[in-house]
């Protein structure tokens, strides 16, 4: 079936923009483009409207460029956090697509963005931070920081016991210091004496010497007494 040529009055993604001459099937033009006001038949009378359509197109593109330039500045400062479910090993169930990112932008920041402008070479399948390219306009591109976070709670890590406690328990299990010496058959060695105690003992030692001399001198006296007793008894006899 031969196609019919029309003049687009609005921008249609994948087909053309205002004032473009395009060929479409007669059914598509008759049932969709004409009723929606998106195109007009290519006639001599309608060709006069092309200049008006081109002016409208230029104004629309300038407005889109300014809007997307401002949006790129705002989006580059944002971090879109997406929460996903993971297994115990940290692996994600499923993946994050451009549609998921577009939904989160709308939910978190009230930014309406066509998912076709979110460029992903492959769906995101790992946790952490990712940089996603946004093709907002033919002349405007930027990057969006996307943070993928798990909603699955991690198992609590065991708390290590303090070393001081372990050392005390180890000593208690082996028995106290005195008990260990008693098991080995000897008493624990006494601690070294302090300077004050050693000095006191050193001063006390000279006092004992006169006592010893007194004992030595007293022994001859006892001997003399015993001899006197013996002589006295002999005289009595």
Considering the domain architecture, whether residues 80 and 61 belong to the same structural domain is answered as no
Question: Could you give the CA distance from residue 97 to residue 94 in angstroms, rounded to a whole number?
Answer: 10
Q: How confident is the model over 23-52, as a mean pLDDT?
A: 91
Q: Examine residue 180 and state whether it is found in any structural domain, yes or no.
A: no
Q: Examine residue 181 and state whether it is found in any structural domain, yes or no.
A: no
Highest mean pLDDT of the ranges 34-38, 162-166, 222-226: 34-38
Specify the CATH number for the domain of residue 64. Answer: 3.40.5.10
Considering the domain architecture, whether residues 58 and 27 belong to the same structural domain is answered as yes
Burial of 203: CB neighbours in 10 Å, binned 0-12, 13-18, 19+ = exposed
Considering the domain architecture, whether residues 40 and 24 belong to the same structural domain is answered as yes
pTM exceeding the 0.75 threshold for the entire prediction: no
Secondary structure (3-state) at 194: coil
Q: Examine residue 214 and state whether it is found in any structural domain, yes or no.
A: no
- pLDDT reported for residue 127: 93
Dihedral-angle region of residue 37 (phi above 0 means left; psi in -120 to 50 means alpha; beta otherwise): left
Specify the CATH number for the domain of residue 84. Answer: 3.10.430.100
Considering the domain architecture, whether residues 66 and 88 belong to the same structural domain is answered as no
* 66-116 residue pLDDT tens: 999 999 999 999 999 999 999 878 788 889 999 999 999 999 999 999 999
Q: Examine residue 208 and state whether it is found in any structural domain, yes or no.
A: no
- pLDDT reported for residue 84: 92
Phi, psi of 193 (to 5 degrees): -70, 150
Q: Would you say residue 188 has pLDDT above 90? A: no
Considering the domain architecture, whether residues 56 and 91 belong to the same structural domain is answered as no
The number of domains in the chain is: 2
Average pLDDT over the chain, rounded to an integer = 78
Q: How confident is the model over 148-165, as a mean pLDDT?
A: 71
Residue 165 carries which DSSP code? H
Domain range for 105 is 73-150
Considering the domain architecture, whether residues 87 and 66 belong to the same structural domain is answered as no
Last residue of a domain, which of 91, 122, 150? Answer: 150
Considering the domain architecture, whether residues 53 and 81 belong to the same structural domain is answered as no
Q: Examine residue 178 and state whether it is found in any structural domain, yes or no.
A: no
Grade residue 189 by pLDDT with cuts at 50, 70 and 90. low
Q: Examine residue 95 and state whether it is found in any structural domain, yes or no.
A: yes
Percent of the chain clearing pLDDT 90 (strictly above): 49
Q: Would you say residue 41 has pLDDT above 80? A: yes
Q: How confident is the model over 22-43, as a mean pLDDT?
A: 93
- pLDDT reported for residue 217: 46
Q: Examine residue 135 and state whether it is found in any structural domain, yes or no.
A: yes
- pLDDT reported for residue 230: 57
- pLDDT reported for residue 49: 87
Please report the beta strands in the chain, taking only residues with DSSP state E, as ranges in sequence order: 4-8, 21-24, 39-41, 79-84, 118-119, 128-137, 140-150
Considering the domain architecture, whether residues 95 and 122 belong to the same structural domain is answered as yes
Q: Examine residue 229 and state whether it is found in any structural domain, yes or no.
A: no
Last residue of a domain, which of 28, 52, 70? Answer: 70
Last residue of a domain, which of 70, 89, 112? Answer: 70
Considering the domain architecture, whether residues 92 and 30 belong to the same structural domain is answered as no
């Amino acid at each position: 079936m031969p196609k019919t040529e029309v003049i687009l009055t609005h921008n249609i993604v994948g087909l053309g923009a205002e004032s473009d001459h395009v060929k479409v099937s007669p059914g598509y033009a008759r049932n969709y483009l004409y009723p929606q006001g998106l195109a007009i038949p290519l006639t001599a009378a309608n060709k006069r409207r092309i200049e008006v359509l081109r002016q409208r197109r230029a104004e629309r593109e300038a407005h889109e460029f300014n809007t997307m330039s401002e949006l790129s500045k705002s989006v580059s400062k944002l971090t879109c956090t997406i929460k996903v479910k993971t297994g115990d090993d940290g692996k994600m169930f499923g993946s994050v697509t451009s549609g998921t990112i577009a939904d989160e932008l709308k939910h978190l920041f009230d930014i309406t963005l066509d998912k076709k402008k979110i460029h992903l070479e492959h769906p995101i399948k790992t946790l952490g931070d990712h940089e996603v390219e946004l093709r907002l306009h033919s002349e405007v591109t930027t990057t969006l920081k996307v943070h993928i976070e798990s909603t699955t709670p991690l198992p609590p890590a065991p708390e290590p016991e303090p070393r001081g406690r372990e050392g005390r328990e180890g000593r208690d299990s082996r028995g106290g210091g005195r008990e260990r010496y008693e098991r080995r058959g000897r008493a624990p060695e006494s601690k070294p004496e302090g300077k004050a105690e050693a000095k006191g003992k050193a001063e006390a030692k000279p006092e004992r010497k006169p006592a010893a001399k007194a004992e030595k001198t007293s022994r001859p006296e006892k001997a003399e007494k015993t001899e006197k007793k013996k002589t006295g008894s002999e005289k009595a006899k």
